[in-house]
Amino acid sequence: MYDVIIIGAGAAGMTAAIYTSRKALKTALITIEIGGQAVQATNIENYPGYKGKGFDLMNKFREQVVEFGTELIPGRVNKLIKKGEGFEVTLTNANKYETKSVILAYGKVPRKLDIHGEEEYIGKGLHVCAVCDAPLYADKVVAVVGGGNSALGSAIYLSKIAKKVYLIHKRDEFRGDEIIVNRVKEKDNIEILLSHIPKKIKGENEVEKFVLENFKDNSERELELDGIFLEIGFTIDVDFVKELIEVNNIKEIVVDKNCNTSQKGIFAAGDVTNMQYKQIVVSAGEGAKAALSAHAYLQGKEIIGTDWDY
């Protein structure tokens, strides 16, 4: 039984984890990636006290999260229910965790392929952030799935680290800018596979093979590789919580000024909420507020003035 489970490890989720762990609450942080969309920022200039890459900033967040004892659990949540006085969180791999409170801070989440093996290999060779995890694949073979600028850029980045990169896209042409497409084509260690659809991920304990289907002739191809990177965009996912809490017409979680949702014991922070400003610094602040509100809730108290008054 955890005191608090935080879903999402962007600026909001990791800030919340730092605060709850420092309050000596037993905290778990569930996520499929560390850093969220912030890691994609190549040049941050509006975060007080920091100028540089988003990846480096999020890594500093992660170091503090680990330092204060938060348990990191890799995985994707697909069910959240009320159970007794607390809640039960179920992952897509069927693992279940019980908690007294929940903080939703997962922002926009990476789109899924919805194929066999996808959930099983998250964090075991299947990734959604090339900038974060590319160093794990030095001199190895990887695949990038997607056809936009993000996928093209990730393929180029990985080509500097990996031995070989397969770039897989379901259409017969890329959606990205022509100048980036041309840069991809100039790389000798990038093999482009257009008109191919991912069908299955295979392996013993980690990714070993990637099965594709050429939809033009329905032939299958099995790639032997070490890692797969998904670059197919982001979406807002509230399906697993919408029965418990209020969401608005654009699928944002509705919160009050203290990050309370409509369900007692569930709090939310960051881009997944109806917070107007979607900025790293704002998400971090909202994460701190959600954590303090969760702490007050677990103490059976209510913040009516300043946080030290409850």
Q: List the catalytic residues.
A: 129, 132-133
- What CA–CA distance (Å, rounded) separates 157 from 293? 41
Separation of alpha carbons 90 and 265, rounded Å:
17
CB count within 10 Å of CB 296 equals 16
